[in-house]
């Protein structure tokens, strides 16, 4: 209730500074005045619902999340098999999908209340997304893929992109295209790209799903280390027990998402 009340007082306008675009400038005085306000979680979800209409006309509720929170720098794994709405949840958190109802506050922004353009900006600045199939841009080199990962947020900085690629062990593959890399190497490029905009939250959707166990473990290690080094929170969804058992904080997606327990309307 308290969280819902605080959301009701959310400002009706959004400034670049609030989104995180003040580029290291000192916070405004109004922000400093808020210093005694109780600290809010990085991600806070209340009564979030998302449904689709099926081809036969039925309404299928995919998401029904009564409550969920993730703190800054927290690393959490969600156990979810195929069809449990994990990608829809991650898309809603990233602002790619707009929920039907409910509250979703990310880094202080009530995403459903924002325009699409502002959601794009919030995502560009605050979210890094690692996809199961990596979603690397095929015509672009590794370096360009990573530079693009930061271009829409705080601005492209090839030197930092290079550093990230070196950190994931691809310093000698900067000018390679994804098709010239192994699957494991492509995953590492995707990790570097997700961290390129120095996000507050990294979303990872089955990040090891396409990797063999050895490469999967290696990729997971890199993801967790880099998130830690960059003070980014990590929300990882997987159905692989070998991945999930490495997280102290591991929850079942079915517990969070009640939609699976509902009958189609």
Partner 1 sequence: MTLWLIVRKSLRQHLLSTVITAVSIGLATGLLMSIVAVKDQSMRAFTNVTGGFDAVMGSRGSKLSLVLFAVFHMDKAPGTLTLKDLEEIQGNRREIKTAVPIVVGDNHQGYRIVGTTRGFFDVEYATGKPHTVRAPGRLFREKSQEAVIGSHVARQLGLRLGDEFKPMHGVSYDPNAVEHSAKYLVVGVLEPSNTPADHAIWIPLKGAQNMPGHDAEVSTDISAILIKFNSARQGPIFADQVNKGTRDKTVAMIAPEVTAFFQRFEWLRVVLGAMAAMVALVGAGGILASLHNTMNERRREFAILRALGARRGTVFGAILLESATISSLGVMIGFSLYAGFIAAAAHFIAARTGVIINPLEPNLVMALAPVAIVALGTLAGILPAMKAYRTDVAENLIPQS
Between the alpha carbon of residue 116 and those of residues 48, 120, 132, 226, 260, the distances in Å are 18, 6, 24, 29, 28
Between the alpha carbon of residue 172 and those of residues 169, 176, 181, 194, the distances in Å are 8, 9, 12, 19
In whole angstroms, the minimum distance from the beta carbon of 12 to partner 1 comes to: 21
CB closer to partner 1 out of 3 and 260 = 260
Interface residue with partner 1 among 11, 66, 139, 171 (CB under 8 A) is 139
Please give the size of the binding site for partner 1, defined by CB under 8 A. Answer: 39
Three-class DSSP category at 122: helix
Three-class DSSP category at 29: helix
CB closer to partner 1 out of 31 and 264 = 264
Interface residue with partner 1 among 10, 116, 242, 252 (CB under 8 A) is 116
Residues contacting 230, CB < 8 A, separation 6+: 195, 198, 199
In whole angstroms, the minimum distance from the beta carbon of 255 to partner 1 comes to: 17
Binding of residue 133 to partner 1 (CB under 8 A): yes
In whole angstroms, the minimum distance from the beta carbon of 131 to partner 1 comes to: 7
- CA-CA distance, 61 to 79, in Å (whole number)? 19
Residues contacting 35, CB < 8 A, separation 6+: none
For partner 1, which stretch binds (CB under 8 A), given 2-10, 53-61, 119-127, 178-186? Answer: 119-127
Q: Please, are residues 121 and 19 in contact by the beta-carbon 8 Å criterion? A: yes
Residues contacting 248, CB < 8 A, separation 6+: none
Binding of residue 198 to partner 1 (CB under 8 A): no
Binding of residue 51 to partner 1 (CB under 8 A): no
Binding of residue 124 to partner 1 (CB under 8 A): yes
For partner 1, which stretch binds (CB under 8 A), given 1-9, 41-49, 145-153, 226-234? Answer: 145-153
Q: Which residue has the tokens 């309307």?
A: 265
Binding of residue 10 to partner 1 (CB under 8 A): no
In whole angstroms, the minimum distance from the beta carbon of 6 to partner 1 comes to: 27
* Helices and strands per DSSP (H, E), number in the chain: 11, 9
Residues near partner 1 (CB under 8 A)? 80, 82-88, 91, 94, 96-97, 116-117, 120-121, 123-125, 127, 129, 131-133, 135-137, 139-140, 144, 147-149, 151-153, 156, 193, 197
């Amino acid at each position: 209730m308290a969280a819902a009340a605080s959301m009701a007082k959310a400002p009706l306008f959004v400034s670049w500074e609030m989104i995180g675009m003040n580029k290291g400038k000192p916070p405004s005085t109004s922000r400093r005045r808020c210093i005694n306000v109780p600290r809010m979680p990085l991600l806070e979800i209340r009564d979030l619902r998302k449904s689709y209409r099926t081809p036969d006309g039925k309404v299928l509720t995919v998401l029904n999340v009564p409550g969920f929170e993730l703190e800054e720098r927290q690393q959490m794994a969600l156990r979810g098999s195929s069809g449990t709405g994990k990608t829809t949840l991650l898309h809603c958190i990233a602002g790619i999908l707009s929920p039907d109802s409910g509250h979703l506050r990310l880094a202080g922004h009530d995403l459903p209340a924002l325009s699409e353009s502002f959601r794009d900006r919030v995502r560009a600045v605050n979210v890094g997304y690692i996809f199961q199939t990596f979603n690397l841009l095929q015509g672009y080199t590794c370096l360009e893929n990573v530079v693009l990962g930061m271009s829409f947020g705080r601005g492209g900085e090839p030197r930092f992109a290079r550093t990230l690629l070196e950190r994931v062990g691809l310093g000698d593959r900067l000018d390679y295209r994804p098709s010239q890399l192994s699957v494991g190497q492509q995953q590492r490029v995707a990790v570097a790209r997700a961290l390129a905009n120095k996000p507050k939250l990294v979303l990872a959707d089955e990040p090891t799903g396409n990797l063999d166990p050895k490469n999967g473990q290696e990729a997971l290690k890199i993801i967790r280390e880099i998130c830690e080094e960059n003070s980014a929170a990590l929300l990882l969804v997987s159905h692989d027990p070998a991945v999930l058992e490495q997280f102290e904080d591991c929850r079942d997606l079915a517990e969070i998402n009640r939609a699976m327990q509902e009958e189609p309307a």
